[in-house]
Amino acid sequence: MTAKKLIVLLLHAFVGWLLCAATMGIGMALTTLEIALVIHAVAAPIFFAGVSIVYYSKFNYTGSLATATIFVGFVMVVDFFVVGLLINRSLAMFASLLGTWIPFILLFTSTLLVGLQNNKQRKASVAA
């Protein structure tokens, strides 16, 4: 994969992460932490499905599993260094199923499913 393709892929992951970060920031400003976490857990797979649709329709440089892995890996790394170490100055968020692990699993799954559906549609259009 070229550097340009990797940058495109990581920029898409970054957009998904930004949408999640904004959801948490706004949610924590307007409601309780618990409600913000629930909203984030629901919104994360929706955001990443949308980002994935854009990525797969315009670029599609990587397969479904690779894209889902890179997206969730990017989010994990940024959450660890930026949110955990820099902002919160604590890694306690990683002890929370609702705060990290459920959204990680859901964003991975939504990205993977969008990619698989995209591949299915591409194969059907080629066969037609």
pLDDT digits (tens, 9 = 90+) for 31-54: 999 999 999 999 999 999 999 999
Residue 3 has pLDDT above 80, yes or no: yes
pLDDT tens-digit series, residues 58-106: 999 999 999 999 999 999 999 999 999 999 999 999 999 999 999 999 9
Q: Yes or no: say if 44 and 103 are a contact pair by the CB < 8 Å rule.
A: yes
pTM for the model: 0.95
On whether the CB atoms of residues 108 and 68 are closer than 8 A, the answer is: yes
Mean pLDDT score across all residues of the chain: 96
* Residues 106-117: tens digit of each pLDDT: 999 999 999 999
Please tell me the predicted confidence (pLDDT) of residue 77: 98
Structure confidence at residue 125 as a pLDDT band (50, 70, 90) = confident
Cα 121 to Cα 13, 54, 61, distances in angstroms: 23, 15, 16
Q: Give the start-to-end residue ranges of the domains of the chain.
A: 3-117
